[in-house]
A = this chain, B = another copy of it.
Amino acid sequence: MKSTNITWHEGDVTRDDRARLLGQRGACVWFTGLSGSGKSTVAVALEKALLHAGRAVYRLDGDNVRHGLNANLGFSAEDRDENIRRIGEVARLFADAGLICLCSFVSPYRAARDNVRRLHEDAGLPFFEVFVDAPLDVLEQRDPKGLYRKARAGEIKNFTGLDAPFEPPAHAELVLPTHTLRVEQSVEQAAAMLRDAGVIDA
């Protein structure tokens, strides 16, 4: 058998060991906001910027969760809660692994988001709620996917912001009024938040 450069180490891996070896601490950044507000646009750009700065980062969103882990969930109130619960648990595993986990989900209910926050805080892992706060009338005017128009026409039921509630965060770590910011500015503000909290280096 060939050599593997694998050496032997006594004792368990602590979170501090992991942080030292990876050169970073894990954290969860949770983007919440109405459909079309720019959650994923900001998350994608932040992921890219962090990766290029040498940070280990991963993004959870509808695309990689709804078709996989949560493929067996529908859109009942119970299933929506379970959807957010599972995502929160996975985000916690990523943060425990030492990664910066970016989650972008409408997640309209405060209680569900607060549960995810508590999950992280109980585990001693930093949690950042980012409220992507663009006004409904701006989003309805843009409406690149025509979702608001369909919802207004009654073709989509229980659409958040129209006939289903969005409960804005009471104590978000960051509010991004994306209708007044360029994406670069939102990314810069989110990165500054992570730097000020000691998650990434200055």
* A3 cross-chain contacts in B, Cβ below 8 A: 202
Is A1's CB under 8 angstroms from B189's CB? yes
A4 to B45, CA, bound (A): 14
> Interface readout for A29-69 with B: 1 if CB under 8 Å, 0 if not?
00000000000000011011111111010101000100011
A185 vs B144: C-alpha distance when bound (angstroms): 57
Instruction: Report the contact-size class of chain A (Cβ under 8 Å from the partner).
Output: 35 or more
Query: For chain A, what secondary structure do more than half of its interface residues adopt (helix, strand, loop), or is it mixed?
Result: helix
Q: A51-B17, A52-B9, A56-B56 are in contact. Are A4 and B93 (CB under 8 A)?
A: no
Quick check: which of A95-103, A131-139, A147-155, A159-167 contacts chain B, the rest being far away?
Answer: A95-103
User: In chain A between 10 and 26, which residues have their CB closer than 8 angstroms to a CB of chain B?
Assistant: 12-13, 17-18, 21-22
With A and B bound together, what is the CA distance between A190 and B52 in angstroms? 31
Whether, in the assembled complex, A90 has its beta carbon less than 8 Å from a beta carbon of chain B, the answer is yes
A166 to B42, CA, bound (A): 47
**Interface pairs (28), CB distance under 8 Å:** A1-B188, A1-B189, A2-B196, A4-B191, A4-B195, A4-B200, A4-B202, A5-B201, A6-B49, A6-B53, A6-B188, A7-B49, A7-B53, A9-B48, A9-B49, A12-B44, A12-B48, A17-B51, A18-B51, A56-B99, A58-B96, A58-B98, A60-B93, A69-B90, A69-B93, A72-B82, A86-B86, A94-B97
A contact residues vs B (CB 8 Å cutoff): 1-9, 12-13, 17-18, 21-22, 44-45, 47-54, 56, 58, 60, 64, 68-69, 72, 82, 86, 89-90, 92-94, 96-99, 119, 184, 187-189, 191-192, 195-196, 200-202
